[in-house]
Chain A
Amino acid sequence: MTFFTEENLELAHEIIGRYPKQRSAMIPLLHLAQEQAGWVTEEAMKQIGGLIGTSSAEVLGTCSFYEMFKRHEVGRYVVNICTTMSCALMGAEELLEHAETRLGIKAGSTTSDGLFTLEGAECQAACTEAPCLQVNYRHKYRVTLSDFDHLIDELADPKNEGTPRHGVLAQIRQHIPTERSVGAMHPESVNAPPVWIEEQKEANS
């Protein structure tokens, strides 16, 4: 039942405390689990269910809907090549084919050294910088075939520390200082307007 490290467990409780209903912490906790292990394990889903008061089946139900959650081991670097219209118009297909040849794998699989998982991906909101790709959800813009080779060489270098491994998203966490926090209230425990609102005027406006 104990998947989370002590530090992450503390963080998990902090995250749950920010929401009026604890189930809302589901996706943030799945991200935290993926950050810890690189993918979402069954133990993680069990513990998340326990933490937010639901079954591990419910956690699996949510987890399996979202593409970023991997329920099996993936490479240290997940390389997503955008193949939607703007990138396709600018040569994404060629880039993806080149990537498959360079890495020696088909899109959707992982290199045998466990370093790279290659995926054909959908629009990454960098359409003016096509073709683009993401390494662990960090963008690379206007990627030429030689840029790609260079990128792979760089990432494969064991000394490279520029890109955190798969699972790590934002490296700065939100922290709400206790003395400044208003605190989350269960919706059923609130039935009056917030103090700065005068209800009478509100109703008339």
Chain B
Amino acid sequence: MTERGIPIPHAPGFIANKTPRIVTSRFDYEDSFTIARYEETGGYQGLRTALSRTPEAVHGEVRDASLLGRGGAGFPAGVKWGFCPPGVWPRYLVVNGDESEPGTYKDRLLMELDPHQLIEGCLIACYAIGLSQCFLYVRGEMAVAQERIAQALNEAYEAGYIGKNILGTEFSVDIVLHWGAGAYVVGEETALIESLEGNRGMPRLKPPYFPASIGLYGQPTIVNNVETLSNLPWILSNGFEAFKAIGTETSPGTRMVAVSGHVKRPGVYEIVNGTTTFRDLIYGETMCGGIRNDAALKAFVPGGGSAPWFTADQLDLPFEASQVGPEGSMLGSGAIMVMDETTDIPAAALTLTKFYAHESCGKCVPCREGGTWLEQIMRRIVNGSGTKRDLDLLIEVGETICPGDFPHASNKEKGLSAVPFPYKMTTICFVGPSAFAPVHSALTLFKEEFEAKVAGNSDRNYVEVTISA
């Protein structure tokens, strides 16, 4: 119940499995978000362990755990922390809770169901690298997550876990809850910082590539994803060896993955990283249980709306970046969207392209103009008024955002070999390329569906415009 007496419904979606549970271990409790339950189930022990060691030792533990960032880019957290230039103070922590990548649903669960775990993770990070203030940036459209975190912060301040002289040590840090106001691009870490400074949320020109060197107020700033930080209490309590015993050497631990679309049991699963395959997830009896109505799989998006698409040919790839990249896509933010044989592919691709066109911040011309054009061309194709020339035009426009070969999966039936990830881009951030990714995948893997939609429409008369000086 909130202060005003309105009950908060529990966020659904999580499906427990027999796999090890690192970040979802408390999700089965009705009161998982309270400090009482948290303390009863080993909560704040990771912080106590951290405080009994030197900050360098704690940083070392996280580095040795090879914890890969769970926000999308998959960069090792411990390495990222090491990018803070020595001798530059103060340093800040910004928590990226702006989850809004299409298909992604995990950080909201972690914030609503186990906010103390996230808070403990923040405290461990601040202690390890000397961050003097933490800003917890939650997406604006998540009223319940904001409530749960506010309550958890109030409890944790009261109990002496946050603020001055934490647990009687000289470690002192404030955590400030902050929330956004509706802008996908703010999930990009430099745009997040702009937003936190009170500005329009537009990404900053790079280099510097990492805000760890120049970030919030021009100071060294660590931006970490909610799931990444939520792993830290477990790592500190159980040690990096126990963490690395799960998953593979290069992708240790677990990952939260949301599977949505045309499957029998859509849900959020905590899976073993590195070894679980897309087939395990989509067809596994204890996971999604196959495609709805036992239909055939047409395609799936493996890593959030920005990721190039896969088909049944890629089902046996594991959740391992070093294998998915060469196959032409990315694991991104742990979001799989499944399309069965009944799916209208151009229409499905349009739902993503219009998202990115809508969410372009307008800073880079190729994204602002290109995204809009991609959407408009796609719209007329889907509506049945496109022409054959439009199919080439899509690629032409896409190449102004991403010059050269765009990554795509291999396909036996169509005789395609994979073009590996990543792509070249003419924009500062990934919003522009993301508008093109679904168009390119759909057009490469399912060109016949586009051709069927434009068949019989005669090309418009294009007027060649010559500009003379």
| A residues lining the B interface (CB < 8 Å) | 18-21, 23-28, 30-31, 52, 54, 61-62, 65-69, 80, 83-86, 88-90, 122-130, 134, 136-139, 141, 161-162, 164, 169-177, 179-185, 187, 190-197, 199, 201-203, 205
Contacts and interface: CB of A to CB of B under 8 A. Distances in A.
B164 A182 contact: yes
B289 interface: no
Classify chain B's interface size: 35 or more
Which residue among A66, A86, A205 has the maximum number of chain B CB atoms within 10 Å of its CB?
Answer: A86
B359 to A, nearest CB: 7
Contacts of B218: 187
Interface of B: 2-4, 6, 11-13, 54-56, 59-60, 86-87, 89-90, 99-105, 107-108, 127, 130, 132-133, 139-144, 146-147, 149-151, 153-154, 157-158, 160, 162-164, 169-174, 176-184, 195-201, 217-219, 258-262, 266-268, 301, 305, 335, 337, 339, 343, 347-348, 351-352, 355, 358-359, 361
Nearest to A52: B198
Contacts of A175: 154, 157
Contact of B3 (A124, A130, A172, A187): A172
B143 A69 contact: no
Contacts of A201: 54, 56
B179 A169 contact: yes
A129 B259 CA distance: 10
A30 B181 contact: yes
Given A170-B143, A201-B56, A61 B200 contact: yes
- The interface residues of chain A, by DSSP majority, are classed as loop
Which residue among B140, B339, B359 has the maximum number of chain A CB atoms within 10 Å of its CB?
Answer: B140
Leading 9 A-B pairs by shortest Cβ distance:
A26-B198, A180-B163, A66-B181, A67-B182, A170-B146, A197-B130, A127-B260, A86-B260, A68-B182
B100 A125 contact: yes
B351 A83 contact: yes
A203 B130 CA distance: 12
Contact of A66 (B100, B158, B182): B182
B133 A184 contact: yes
B127 A196 contact: yes
A170 B180 CA distance: 12
Nearest to A18: B176
A85 B176 contact: no
Contacts of B149: 174
B198 to A, nearest CB: 3
A183 B133 CA distance: 9
B180 A185 contact: no
B6 A162 contact: yes
A66 B170 contact: no
Given A125-B99, A202-B56, A181 B197 contact: no
A68 B153 CA distance: 25
Given A62-B200, A66-B183, A69-B182, 16 more contacts: A89-B262, A122-B359, A123-B104, A124-B141, A126-B105, A127-B104, A130-B261, A137-B142, A139-B144, A174-B150, A174-B154, A181-B163, A182-B132, A194-B89, A194-B130, A205-B56
